Amino acid sequence: MEKIRMTTPLVEMDGDEMTRVLWKKIKEILILPYVDLKTEYYDLGLPNRDATEDAVTVESALATKKYGVAVKCATITPNAQRMTEYNLHRMWKSPNGTIRRILDGTVFRAPILCKGIRPYVPTWESPIVLARHAYGDVYNNVEERVEKGEKAYLVVTDGEGREVRRQLVHDFAEGAGVVQGVHNCDDSIRSFAHSCFRYAVEQKIPMYFATKDTISKVYDRRFKDIFAEVYEQYRSNFEELGIEYLYTLIDDAVARIVRCKGGVLWACKNYDGDVMSDMVATAYGSLGMMSSVLVSPDGKYEYEAAHGTVTRHYYRYLKGEATSTNSVATIFAWTGALAKRGELDGNEALVAFARKLERATVSTIEEGEMTGDLVPLFSREGVTPKKLDSEEFLRAIAKRL
Ligand code: NAP
Ligand code: MG
């Protein structure tokens, strides 16, 4: 066949370890034979981040701002052990954190569903997409241990440092304890709200947002009010599509999520999103089946897998052993990015190719050919699951594609 042409490049962010190995294979086996792939390539692998003093990460984020769509491979966030392993000059910050800060984006995570892989919650027939506000609250807090006899105050000063307001948090006369200060910013909450409403409208799915504003009458109330205000800009879109925006209390939201059929966007405050995204991901099955996209409030997109670089498999790969690493979430990062690029450029052939690759991937699993992580989760009448190695799985998809 003639290869599908692209008009605008994708921003391609390469990564580390096992996912870097899969990255190359996915392109070679599933994309390059069919698409005249145009990318602007950034190597975010740890050795190159170190060599460029992490400038490559910033450049790749700026390129995403310019072109609007990026696809990212999983990357190592260095810790002390990686410092020695890679002989690093510095303990570079998390690339995802850097990119998120530059794009001011929100991360949406959605499971990839296949017949035969049943979620632990049987009512969940469609994906529950979770959006986590990635700024403030307990993640940017200050906290102290307080001794018996001390008092803790919440003090607000003006720009010159003059005290304007003061409240007693607690008088520790009876004994020692702890105190914590948290904050959030209107702009960040507003960006988060825009990203969420925009995503719900694009995906044509209803949206829940919840806080605990009955208890937190100023702090959580501010989230509620900003969401209500931003919603007015999207109300007509929601009404036209016949989808609902529901604001409720967090405990009610949790109960509704468990009862629902899926097919909903759940926007969460930072801590709720941290905890609930792990619950939702686990309940759907494997980390290898969780996709992720960063959406900025002005509509820039960066697609990736939710999992990491699968280090344990990589060390086995280096020893020459066969690996059976699930590439589905990384394939869906590519298809998400190609489809979005196609949509923005009015390139229907590219969108259609992305959707076909997704269907080929899902049907490979549904017909019983899968990587090792899925085998114990799989149960479908008349189909015996067969474990394939990393490359065999990609070739099984290519056959269907
Ligand atoms: P991980 O790479 O997600 O892997 C944790 C374990 O989950 C694996 O050992 C494997 O279990 C299973 N797993 C995850 N993805 C899988 C897949 N695609 N196929 C099959 N099994 C899969 O997390 P990690 O080991 O904690 O982190 C490794 C590195 O990734 C770290 O350096 C971390 O900084 C980085 N990381 C990057 C990102 C990102 O770029 N977005 C996100 C998270 C972590 P078994 O070994 O039992 O098979
Ligand atoms: Mg968590």
For every residue of 320-333, DSSP letters joined together read T-------HHHHHH
Burial class of residue 88 in the structure, from the number of CB atoms within 10 Å of its CB (0-12 exposed, 13-18 middle, 19+ buried): middle
pLDDT at site 319? 97
- DSSP-assigned letter for residue 29: I
Q: What are phi and psi for residue 68, nearest 5 degrees?
A: 95, -20
pTM: 0.90
Ligand 2 centroid to 270 CA: how many Å?
10
pLDDT values of the chain reduced to their tens digit, one per residue, 401 residues: 899 999 999 999 999 999 999 999 999 999 999 999 999 999 999 999 999 999 999 999 999 999 999 999 999 999 999 999 999 999 998 999 899 889 888 999 999 999 999 888 989 999 999 999 988 898 888 999 999 999 999 999 999 999 999 999 999 999 999 999 999 999 999 999 999 999 999 999 999 999 999 999 999 999 999 999 999 999 999 999 999 999 999 999 999 999 999 999 999 999 999 889 888 988 888 889 999 999 988 889 999 999 999 999 999 999 999 999 999 999 999 999 999 999 999 999 999 999 999 999 999 999 999 999 999 999 999 999 999 999 999 999 999 99
Ligand nearest the Cα atom of residue 72: 1
**Secondary-structure class of domain 1-108+294-401 per CATH:** alpha beta
Ligand 1 atom at minimum distance from 74 CA: 40
Please report the pLDDT score of residue 274 as a whole number. 86
CA–centroid distance, 269 to ligand 2, in Å, is 13
Residue 24 sits at φ, ψ, to 5 deg, of: -65, -45
Cα-to-centroid distance, 273 and ligand 2 (Å): 8
Strands 142-146 and 177-181: antiparallel
**Nearest protein CA to atom 5 of ligand 1, as residue:** 310
Cα-to-centroid distance, 81 and ligand 2 (Å): 22
Q: Which ligand is nearest to the CA of 277?
A: 2
What residue type is 199 in one-letter code? Y
pLDDT of residue 104: 83
Q: How far apart are CA 130 and CA 127, in angstroms?
A: 9
Closest ligand to 17 CA?
Answer: 1
Q: Which CATH number among 3.40.718.10, 1.10.645.10, 3.30.70.20, 3.10.110.10 corresponds to the domain 118-140+184-284? A: 3.40.718.10
Q: Where in the chain is the domain with CATH 3.40.718.10?
A: 1-108+294-401, 118-140+184-284
What residues are in contact with ligand 1 under a 6 Å CB criterion? Answer: 74-77, 96, 287-288, 304, 307-312, 325-326, 373
Residue nearest to atom 1 of ligand 1 (CA): 308
Specify the pLDDT at position 139. Answer: 83
Atom of ligand 1 nearest to the CA of 327: 18
Q: How far separated are the first and last CA of the chain, in Å rounded?
A: 13
What is the per-residue pLDDT for 140? Answer: 82
Question: Are 109 and 281 contacting, i.e. CB atoms less than 8 angstroms apart?
Answer: yes
Cα-to-centroid distance, 255 and ligand 1 (Å): 30
Which token pair is 393? 């799985």
